[in-house]
Amino acid sequence: MKPEDDMNIILVGKRHGKSRTVSINAPVAAGLVLFVVAMLVLAGWSGYQVAVSQVEPAEPAESELVAQWREKLDQQKGELTQIEQNVQQQVDALTLRLGEMQGRLLRLDALGQRFVESGLVASDEFDFNQPAAVGGPEDNLDGDSYTAPELTSMIDQLAKRIEDREQQLRMLDMVTSRQKLEKERYVQGRPITWGWLSSKYGYRSDPFTGKRTWHAGVDLAGKEGSDIISVAGGVVTYADERYGYGNLVEVDHGDGLVTRYAHAKTIKVDVGDVVQKGQVLALMGSTGRSTGPHVHFEVIRNGKSENPETYIKRASR
């Protein structure tokens, strides 16, 4: 290379103004130029990246993505928990409804059993201890399950039917109870289980004086100690000794109707007792003004005696 092709660079120092000359040949100068150009290109590219970063946001780091996914998962868990709570509330509500319906069905079964025991319905036709017989072919054995709204609607319909049946059975129970009460209060039959009529109602010769006297009842003779029973349901209003009657039981049947059972050996009831038709009131004896074991039976309506034979021969209801 010729000396005139070299490039001289003069460096001036800060101290004393001294200068220093550095000679650079052509290849070194070309390299320096390329270096400067490369630096300029690199600076331009960096500026471009900075400008792009200001226009478009940088992609989040991996930790930020994980945090976002965790936040979404937590939100979905919260929504799932809320759904589970709503479903549980619906299940609890349906469970309460079913519990109430089970109680009502038990009452219906009890009413039905009472009708069976009373003979209103046949026990072999209505067995309330067994489930109702059902059956039939199925068109689709793989049917869908019921949804909660469908179950709620079915329970509402069943509750309505149960309510209707309850009202009907209550009315029927009231009617039958009234009929049973009337039947219980219906004075009919003899006040003894065994014996015979020894003295009729009306005038007769007194067994002690022989004079013509009024006999306000009938005498039914029998075995001493045999049962004296009530001819109808009622309330005991007298159970003690009374002059002429001996040991006496008096039963009020309502509507002004009273029956008396006299000369008993032993009294089996107390005042205030509620007695049923056919219940034992006393045992036959000969207390009071009596000539032998018998029961003096009277029927009194509104304070006036009536012929007991009319009630003894009465047809049962």
Tokens standing for residue 283: 């045992």
Residues of the chain under the 50 pLDDT cut: 1-3
246-254 vs 234-242, strand pairing mode? antiparallel
Domain 196-312 has CATH 2.70.70.10: yes
| pLDDT-above-70 percentage for the chain | 69
Cα 51 to Cα 45: distance, rounded to the nearest angstrom: 10
C-alpha to C-alpha distances, 46 to 39, 49, 52, 53, 54, nearest whole angstrom: 10, 5, 10, 10, 12
Q: Give percent helix, percent strand, percent coil of the chain, each to the nearest 5.
A: 40, 25, 35
User: What do you get for the CA distance between the two ends of the chain, in Å?
Assistant: 154
Residue 241: beta bridge partners?
Answer: 247
Query: How long a stretch of residues is the chain?
Result: 317
Residue 35's pLDDT is 72
Annotated domain spans of the chain: 3-55, 60-126+148-185, 196-312
How far lies 215's CA from each of 153, 205, 231, 309, 313, in Å? Answer: 73, 9, 20, 13, 19
Backbone angles phi, psi at 130, to 5 degrees: -115, 150
Closest among 239, 243, 292 to 266, alpha carbons compared: 239
Q: Where are the beta strands (DSSP E) in the chain?
A: 7-12, 19-24, 196-199, 202-205, 212-215, 218-221, 227-229, 234-242, 246-254, 257-267, 274-275, 280-284, 294-301, 304-306
Q: Say how far apart CA 207 and CA 244 lie, in whole Å.
A: 13
pLDDT at 1: 46
What percent of the chain clears pLDDT 90, i.e. is strictly above it? 36
pLDDT tens, 271-290? 999 999 999 999 999 999 99
User: Which stretches of 119-147 are DSSP H helices?
Assistant: none
DSSP string for 15-45: STT-EEEEEE-HHHHHHHHHHHHHHHHHHHH
Cα separation values, 110 from 97, 116, 126, 127, 168, Å: 20, 10, 12, 12, 14
State pTM to two decimals.
Answer: 0.50
Q: What is the rounded distance in angstroms from the CA atom of residue 124 to the CA atom of residue 141?
A: 33
Summarize pLDDT for 9-23 with one digit per residue, the tens: 555 555 555 556 656
| Residue 238, C-beta contacts closer than 8 angstroms, at least 6 positions apart | 248, 249, 250, 271
pLDDT in tens, 130-179: 666 666 666 655 556 666 677 777 777 777 777 777 777 777 667 666 66
Mean pLDDT for the chain? Answer: 79
- The tally of CA atoms less than 13 A away on the side-chain side of residue 310 is 11
pLDDT value of position 222:
95
